[in-house]
A and B are shown apart, each in its own frame.
Chain A
Amino acid sequence: MLKGLSLFIIIILLTGCSKEVDVTIPSLERSMVVYSYNTVNDSIFFLKLSSTANMYDTIYPQINDAIVIVSSDNMIDTLNYIDSSEIYFSQTIAIKDEVELEIVKYPYKTIQASEVVPEKINLIECSAIPNAGIDTDGFIYSEVTIRFRDIAGMTNFFEIVLSEDIKGEEPFTIFSEDPSIKNEDYFPNTMLSPYPVSLPFKDILFDGREQTITIRYDAPLLISEETIIPYQKIYVHFRSVTENYFKYKTSLIIQENAKNGDIIYGMSEPVEVFTNILNGYGIFSVYQSEIIEIEMPEVIVK
């Protein structure tokens, strides 16, 4: 009976209403937006340029050409960005290099950014279990375990992404019970927020030590007469990232959650997404990445 009464009250509250309101929002000066990253020992820069838009716009103006100046400690390259997301730098970059980026495009303000290449990862082991358990919602989950050694004496930042492709463009939503991840500010409320597609974390709890992190994701299922987890090939992207990238990623997840129109997050204070782009928005980053390919055989779930 009490459950029925609770349900009745919740239904009344949820029918509270949601309606469109008309508020005039003044236009904002257009700025360039950068999404750019580079990995160590790779001369290919991923770069995507676009423009900011007004709140009620439905499409973002694209920027199809610009002058891109990339420089590291003793090298400067002036490159053309033309309808492309990958541009080539004339040399590879190494740990501790400082890399600077400048992009010129009229009528936007010239934007600048810089980044220092982070330390490399000491990966020890990475393994996976296709049928690891059943979560509270009754879904079967698979599990990936990463064992690595942290570098002592400095704050190191990491990111884990699981994907079906080697580039990481088709990521899974992932989750972890590990306190190193659960104690991060962005970590989603397990009941109310969707799981993110990347899990950034710091080494405060395990500075200089060996650490094992376990990641969960919903297992793909084939359900016929019996439930089967089919053969899987996944890519684990384990990255050592910069503090700027960490702030960008975590603030992006926090803003995404805070934007939710639900009754819990609706009241939250707005959160600005971090940017290291002067006169613009977005992120320019360099990171170390270990990409581990894991194949898992088909499993029949009992």
Chain B
Amino acid sequence: MLNNYIMRKIFSVLFVLFVYSGFCFAQSKITINGYVQDSENKEKLIGATIYESLQNKGTITNEYGYFSLTLNKSDSIHLTCSFIGYSTKIIRTFASTTINIELIKGVRLDEVVVTATHANNKRNELGVLRIPMARIKEMPSLFGEIDIMKAMQLMPGVNLGSEGKSDLFVRGGNSSQNLILLDDVPMYYVNHLGGFFSVFNADAINNVKLIKGGFPARYGGRLSSVLDVRMKEGNMQKYEVNGTIGLLSSKLSIEGPLIKEKTSFIISARKNILPFFKVFFDEGIDYNFYDINAKLNHKISDKDRLFLSYYWGDDVFGISMKQSSDETKDAVKWGNNLFAVRWNHIYNPKLFSNLTLFYTQYRYNQNSTGEYKKDNVSRNIENDFLSKVSDYSAKIDFDYNLASFYHIRFGISSIYHAFTPATLTYKQSGTNVTNIDFVFENKKLDALELVAYIENEFFISDKFSTNIGLRFSDYITIEKDFYNLEPRVLLSYSITKAIIAKAAYSKMAQYAHLLTYSGTGMPSEYWMPSTKTVPPELSEQYTIGISKTFKKDIEIGIDAYYKETDNLIAFKPGASFVTGFKDWQDIIEKRGKGFSRGIELLIQQNTEKYNAWISGTLSKTDLQFENINGGKLYPFRYDRRIQTNIAFIYNLNSRISISGTWTYASGEAITLPKGKYGQQDEDVFIYDGINSFRMKDYHRLDIGLNFTKKKKWGTRIWNISIINVYNHQNPYYYYFDREEVLVDVESDNGVGVIGVPGDMKLYQQCLFPFLPSISYSFKFNQ
């Protein structure tokens, strides 16, 4: 019965697609299509701009570096192709043609700067942030660990969260509301070391883009942002070995052509090297994290390309003990693995498609075993807790440049979600004990998510363009069927050549919910499905923005947004889900609401010598649950009202670059007790008012220096970073304590001194003081 139902759904989705895409335009124009790539290693450049200044028309390369641009026939067509950090190239053509444009890294022609900047302004997008990978690698890094997510925290609208953490809190959203894609595949968990580093190995990444508003219809499934991370494809020309030895971890990447100009690969692996826990504990306690990225890229023909992507990463924490004849082992392991096959096909210069098949899994597993023996008595115990979600998906996306004024993108996808919310297995055997083989299971629930979308990009005039899209998502479970129509609208108007005003509306739906508990030392994140009692989370966001380009590549942009979220979940006060001994649906508050609004400013300048930007965010986010805080609105924990970032990367010469970042943020919201009582010699705190206090303001200056030197064998880079240069004591958390004070006491033997609890005081704990670090990177060339 379910199968028939699913088939009916699939046909209805296909019908919607057919209706929207079953027409076309015939125009007598010329079309120029092809790829934009790095001249040296042939890596595709994602988001490069191709612009024709006389006709004031342009486009950007898609996620595969492909573009298609339709223009009026003319005797003089000058295409300007640009990308940050690369030379700008001008190409002359007269007729329809397929060209692969190669840009040279680092060289820039001044006479085309303004044209390129105007071309950038033509991007039909709002709330999209990009930082070139080359620049991210030159920024200051904690323990030498370059992190794309920490770089994104320096952009407007992205809250830095807690000190040192790499989570993204975008426009009042939680970190679980970010759609994080690695080569088009969603990742459920993106942290190592409890959130201090992201899972993304910078050596394997080609491009990263963050979308925080004005979402194109092709993206969905999360409420607040899209972090689109693309892996490198591997050098098509020669073999390269990259490596970094850092204080915390080391990594090694190998890439090169299997068949020159036809097939390339990249394998990149990273692992922690420092045995932190072994400093204090014996050899039985250990913590490790590691990840592996691999990709194979094969050019089947000029029109067909095949990509295989793979990621595997885990954090593992284990304790093992062996005392006489007793032996116990505890291990907690959490992480992702994913695998994707993608096939790009160019049907004709105007129509490009990508077929993706992928598998992605996040799992959290806690296992403990014990063997106890004494004389002739023995007891064996095994305890296993598992929570996981596995997705199997097939999707196809089309990119159709129908006419010079109309660009359409459409696609369909299906994702089969297999949720194991929490399964606890307990086994006991031995002598003189009852044999037990027990399973306590939160109900498993599989779901099929069907999606169809269409994006219509209309270039109505030289001044006015739109991207009007619709996404239809249907989430089918045996319990209930949820569907949502998610309209996406972007309007863009060029007031002058340098000033553009934009407005956007997005509705988003999120069918997977994250339960996370921060009460213990170990990270514990569990993904749960939508059910009949826990409906999908929804959001609506309205954004307006204006940007102006000045001389010398200076751009200023101001965005304002208002966002409402619905059907949020949160733990009931005092509840947690550490072991899964309960039905997760019984311990959460449902149907919460969120209200976010803010104004964001970004001033940036990108030249050959340096990149610099200043960002500012003024924002407010409140949450509301019926049974939390008496039903009254309360601030989101990371509701920092003001956040300002200044960042610069300056190349002193070809060997030395210096970078710096300075962040100021008003204090995060915290819950402090408002009273207390004594119970069995303990102070019991009374909390009244969620997040009703604020921590002290946060500010920090980081500086990085990169020393690059060409060697016979390749290149080496020393990176020296200093975190918190002026040693500001930023609050990490607050706690109450009664420090012991010494008092004199009289006794029969005379006067003595005893320690008694002193006055109750509130303390602030800081995390990173002045903290220098160093790392060494090398690149062997064939």
Contact = CB atoms under 8 A, between A and B. Distances in A.
Given A6-B278, A21-B763, A204-B440, A267 B671 contact: no
Contacts of B249: none
Contacts of B766: 16-19
Interface string B129-169: 00000000000000100000000000000000010000000
Interface in A172-193: 177-179, 182-185, 189-192
Contact of B677 (A18, A25, A51, A189): A51
A12 interface: yes
Contacts of A15: 769
A190 B440 CA distance: 24
Contact of B275 (A6, A28, A35): A6
A264 interface: yes
Contact of B672 (A22, A23, A50, A212): A23
Contact of A189 (B383, B436, B521): B521
A233 interface: no
A191 B287 CA distance: 13
A246 B379 CA distance: 28
B764 to A, nearest CB: 5
B433 A212 contact: yes
A231 interface: no
Nearest to A21: B764
Interface stretch (B205-213, B473-481, B487-495, B686-694): B686-694
Interface in A192-228: 192, 202, 204-206, 209-212, 214
A139 to B, nearest CB: 11
Given A13-B768, A179-B381, A60 B677 contact: yes
Interface stretch (B74-82, B112-120, B318-326): B318-326
Interface of B, secondary structure class, is strand
A263 B113 CA distance: 49
Interface in B252-305: 273-276, 278-279, 281-282, 284-285
A52 B684 CA distance: 9
B755 interface: no
Given A3-B278, A254-B576, A205 B426 contact: yes
Contacts of A134: 323-324
Category for how many chain A residues contact B: 35 or more
A5 B673 CA distance: 39
A18 B763 contact: yes
A272 B573 contact: yes
Residue of A134, A268, A274 with highest tally of chain B CB at under 10 A:
A268
Contacts of A274: 574
A50 to B, nearest CB: 6
B62 interface: no
A55 B162 CA distance: 25
B729 A19 contact: yes
Interface in A248-272: 251-252, 254-261, 263-272
A199 B672 CA distance: 28
B656 interface: no
Given A55-B675, A56-B759, A205-B438, A191 B281 contact: yes
Contact of A268 (B276, B374, B518, B759): B518
A57 interface: yes
A69 interface: no
Contact of B578 (A60, A185, A212, A272): A185
A19 B763 contact: yes
B275 A2 contact: yes
Given A177-B370, A268-B518, A20 B762 contact: yes
A73 interface: no
A301 interface: no
A274 B161 CA distance: 30
A204 B439 CA distance: 10
Contacts of B518: 267-269
Contact of A28 (B433, B688, B729): B688
Interface string B455-466: 000000000000
A58 interface: yes
Residue of A210, A269, A273 with highest tally of chain B CB at under 10 A:
A269
Contact of A212 (B276, B432, B757): B432
Given A18-B766, A177-B328, A204-B581, A268 B676 contact: no
Contacts of A204: 440, 581
A289 B436 CA distance: 26
Contacts of B323: 133-135
Residue of A9, A55, A257 with highest tally of chain B CB at under 10 A:
A55
Given A133-B324, A189-B521, A267-B733, A20 B426 contact: no
Contacts of A133: 323-324, 326
A113 interface: no
A123 interface: no
A274 B574 CA distance: 8
B763 A20 contact: yes
B742 interface: no
A54 interface: yes
Contacts of B684: 252, 255, 273, 281
A88 to B, nearest CB: 22
B685 A255 contact: yes
A264 B520 contact: yes
B426 A263 contact: no
A20 B693 CA distance: 16
A282 interface: yes
Interface string B427-467: 01000111010101000000000000000000000000000
Interface in A89-115: none
Contacts of B424: 183
B712 interface: no
B97 interface: no
A300 interface: no
A91 B741 CA distance: 47
A202 B581 contact: yes
A58 B370 contact: no
A53 interface: yes
B274 A252 contact: no
A74 interface: no
A265 B521 contact: yes
Interface in B559-608: 571, 573-574, 576, 578-579, 581
B551 interface: no
B278 A53 contact: no
B732 interface: yes
Contacts of A25: 672-674, 693
A151 to B, nearest CB: 15
B162 A267 contact: yes
Contacts of A53: 675-678
Given A55-B673, A204-B440, A23 B762 contact: yes
Interface in B392-430: 424, 426, 428
Contacts of A50: 677-678
B735 A179 contact: no
B160 to A, nearest CB: 15
A73 B253 CA distance: 76
Contact of A177 (B381, B676, B693): B381
Contacts of B686: 28, 52, 272, 281
Contacts of A7: 279
Contacts of A206: 434, 436, 438
Contacts of A296: none
A2 B273 contact: yes
20 contacts: A2-B275, A6-B276, A16-B729, A16-B768, A25-B674, A50-B678, A52-B676, A52-B686, A55-B672, A55-B675, A55-B736, A136-B281, A136-B284, A179-B383, A202-B581, A255-B685, A257-B519, A259-B735, A267-B162, A270-B685
Given A23-B672, A178-B381, 6 more contacts: A13-B771, A19-B763, A179-B383, A206-B434, A271-B519, A272-B573
Interface of A: 2-3, 5-7, 9-10, 12-13, 15-23, 25-28, 33, 35, 50-58, 60, 129, 133-136, 177-179, 182-185, 189-192, 202, 204-206, 209-212, 214, 251-252, 254-261, 263-274, 281-282
